[in-house]
Amino acid sequence: MSMVNWFKYASPASFYPLAGKLIPFFSAITAILLAVGLWISFFMAPTDFQQGEGYRIIFVHVPASWMSMFIYCVMAFWSALGFILNTRLSGMMTQALAPTGAMFAFLSLVTGSLWGKPMWGTWWVWDARLTSQLILFFLYLGFLALTSAIDDPRRRDKAGAILSLVGVVNIPIIYFSVIWWNTLHQGATVSMTKAPTMAHTMLMGMLIMALAFWGYTIAIVLKRVRCIILEREIASEWVKKNALE
Amino acid sequence: MNLFSTIYCMARRDLTLALRHKTEILTALFFFVIVVNLLPLGVGPDPKLLSKIAPGVVWIGALLATLLGLPRLFAHDYQDGTLEQLSLSPRSFTLIVLGKIMAHWIVAGLPVVLITPLLGIQFNLSGPIIGVLMLTLVLGTPVLSLIGAIGAALTLGVRGGGVLLSLLILPLYIPVLIFGAGAAEAYRAGLDMTGYLWLLAALDLLALFFAPWVSAIALKVALE
Amino acid sequence: MGGYGLYVWGSFGICAVAMIIEPIVLNARNQKIRRQVKRQGGQW
C-alpha cells in the first residue's frame, strides 16, 4: 500500500521537517521558472503593435493578480479544513498565506496603475476589475488586522478561519455588484479590451511567470509556516529536541 | 411558538436596555444627521449637484451610523457574563443572536430610515425619490446589522475592537451600498429599479439565513 | 523600452523589491525564533 498517511502531516511536529525539505525544492523550481519567464518577457516576446513595449508589464501584473485571488481561495480551503478536521496546522497555514496574498494584491494594484498611466493616461480608473482588486486588498488587510490583534492562538485560528470563509462567500457577490455598478455608471469606464489574439509567446511567458510566482508563494509560505510553528510550539518537547537539527 | 418567542424575548430585553440609555440611540442618529449635513459644506451648495449625490451620501451616512453601535452589540453582555449564560441556555443560540441583531436594527437602522425624509428635503429631493430611498434603506439596513454582527462577534474583547470592526466589515458592506444607492440613482434616471430591490431582498434573505449562525459560531469561539 | 521604460522597469522593479524583501524579513524572523529556541534549549 502506497497510501500516504496525510493525517500524520497535520501535526506541526511532523510537518515542520517536511516543510524544511520542500523549501529548497520549490526555491529551485522558482529560480528556473523565473529565469525562463524573464527571458521570454524581455527577449522572446515581440513588441506589441498597439501598446509597444509597455505591454510587457502584463508579465508581472497578471500573475500577481492571479496569485492574489488564488491565495485567498487557498486560505478559505485551509480554513474550511480546519473547521471540519479541527487540525492546528490549518490555522497556521492560513496565517502564513495571508501576508503573501496581500503583497500580491498590492503588487497587482501598483503594476496595474503603472500600466494604466501610459495606456489610458491615468493612474487609476474606477473600472470593475481594478475596484474589485482593491476590495480584495482590503479583505486581506482586514484578515491581517484581525489575526494580529488576537493574542490567544486558538481563538486567532478560529476567528481568522471564520473571516476568510465569510470573505470567500462574499467575493462573488462583491464582484457581481461592482460589475453591476460599473455598467450603470458608464461614464467612468475605459475600454480595456486586450488584443484579441494574444501572441502565443506572450501567453506562454505569462503562464511561466505565473508558475514562478506560484513556486515562490509555496516556498515562502512553507518558510513562514515553519516560523509560526516554532513560535507557537516553543515550549514543547519536540522543538527543544529536534527543531534545530 | 418557541422559535419566535426566543427571538422576541431577546429582542425585547435588548430594546428595554437600550431605551434606558436613550443617549446611545440619539448619538447614532445625530451622528448620521451631522455626517450627511457636512457634505454640502464640503462640496458646495449647488442644488443640482446635491440632489445627484444625495442617495449615495445618505447611504454612506447609514453605513457609518450602523457601525457606530456595533461594538456595543455584544460587549455589555460579554463583560458581565450574560452572554456566556445565554450560550449555555437550552434555546438555540443562533436565534438568541438573531434577537439581539433585530434589537440593534430597531435602535440603529430604523431611526435612520425615519429621519431620511427630513434630509431628503434638505438635499432638494422630490417626494417619490425620498420614498424610493426609504424603501432601499428599509431593505438594506437589516443586512448591515446582520453582517455587522459577524464582525462584532469576531472582534469581541479584542484590542482596538471598534476600529478593527470597521476594517473587517466595511468591504463586506459594498454590495448593499451599491444596490441601495443604485436603486435611487436608477429611479432618478428614469430606469427600472425593481432589479435592485430584488437584489437587496435577496441579500436580506442570504444574510438572515447565514449571519446569525456565523455570528453565533464566532461568539462561541470568543467565549471558549 | 520605446518610451515606456519608467513604467515597465517600475513594475518589474517593485515586484523584484517586494519578492526580495519578503524572504529577508522572513529570514530575520526565523533567526530570531531559532535563537530563542536555542536559549531555551540551554536552560533545559
* Average pLDDT of the residues in B74-94: 87
Q: Answer whether residue A185 shows pLDDT above 80.
A: no
| Residues above pLDDT 70, as percent of chain A | 87
| Mean pLDDT (whole number) for A143-160 | 92
Does B70 touch chain A if contact means CB atoms closer than 8 Å? no
With an 8 Å CB cutoff and a minimum of 3 pairs, decide whether chains B and C touch.
no
- What local confidence, expressed as pLDDT, does residue A24 receive? 92
B172, A170: Cβ pair inside 8 Å? Answer: yes
Residue B140 banded pLDDT, cuts 50, 70, 90: very high
Q: How many CB pairs under 8 A join A and B?
A: 73
Dihedral angle computed from the Cα positions of residues B165, B167, B171 and B172, in that order, rounded to the nearest 10 degrees: -20
Chain B residues with CB under 8 Å of A154 CB are: 224
pLDDT of residue B21: 80
Query: Residue A44: is its pLDDT beyond 80?
Result: no
In eight-state DSSP terms, residue A52 is: B
Closest CB to A107 among C5, C18, C36:
C18
Beta bridge pairs of residue A52:
A48
pLDDT value of position A20: 87
- Which pLDDT band, with edges at 50, 70 and 90, does B17 fall under? confident
The Cα–Cα gap between B101 and B144 comes to: 10
In this predicted structure, the answer to whether residue B50 has a pLDDT above a threshold of 80 is yes
**Whether the predicted pLDDT of A145 surpasses 60:** yes
**DSSP designation for A233:** S
Among B159, B182, B224, the residue with its CB nearest the CB of A181 is B182
**pLDDT reading at A242 higher than 80:** no
Q: Domain limits at C27?
A: 1-44
Question: What pLDDT, on the 0 to 100 scale, is given for residue A115?
Answer: 85
Q: What is the pTM of this model?
A: 0.90
Total tally of structural domains belonging to chain C: 1
In this complex, the chains that touch B, judged by 3 or more CB pairs closer than 8 A, are A
pLDDT of amino acid A109: 93
**Distance from C34 to chain A by nearest Cα, in Å?**
7
Hey, are the CB atoms on A150 and B158 less than 8 Å from each other? yes
Name the percent of chain B in helix, strand, coil, to the closest 5: 85, 0, 15
Cβ neighbours for A22, distance < 8 A, ≥ 6 positions apart: A218, A219, A222
Q: Is B222 on the interface with A (CB under 8 A)?
A: yes
The pLDDT assigned to A213 comes to 94
Query: Which triple of cell numbers denotes residue A142?
Result: 482586514
Question: What is the model's pLDDT at position B69?
Answer: 85
The ipTM of this complex is 0.89
Q: How far is A85 from chain B (nearest CA, A)?
A: 16
CA-nearest residue to A181 within chain B is B178
Q: Which residues contact A229 (CB under 8 A, 6 or more apart)?
A: A12, A15, A16, A92
Mean pLDDT of B7-11: 85
By the 8 A CB rule, do B105 and B145 touch? yes
What is the per-residue pLDDT across A192-222, written as a single tens digit (0 to 9) for each?
A: 455 445 667 788 888 999 999 999 999 999 9
Tell whether the model's pLDDT for residue A86 goes beyond 90: no
Confidence tier at A1 by pLDDT (50, 70, 90) = very low
The residue-averaged pLDDT of A55-72 equals 90
Quote the mean pLDDT of chain B: 89
Q: Is the pLDDT of residue A189 over 50?
A: no
Handedness of CA B168, B209, A173, A61 (dihedral sign): positive
Pairwise CA distance, residues C44 & C28, whole Å: 24
Grouping H, G, I as helix, E, B as strand and the rest as coil, residue A64 is helix
pLDDT of residue A244 exceeding 70, the answer is no
Residue A105: pLDDT band with limits 50, 70, 90: very high
Q: A143: nearest CA in chain B?
A: B168
- Does residue A178 carry a pLDDT above 50? yes
Cα gap A209→A188, rounded to integer Å: 31
Query: d(Cα B117, Cα A19) in Å, to the nearest integer?
Result: 61
Choice between A30 and A46, residue whose per-residue pLDDT is larger: A30
pLDDT in tens, C1-44: 667 778 888 889 999 999 999 999 999 999 998 888 888 765 54
pLDDT band, very low/low/confident/very high, at A56 (cuts 50, 70, 90): confident
Question: Is C44 touching A (CB cutoff 8 A)?
Answer: yes
Cell 480551503 appears where? A77
The stretch B149-160 carries a mean pLDDT of 90
Q: How far does B178 lie from chain A, in Å, by closest CA?
A: 6
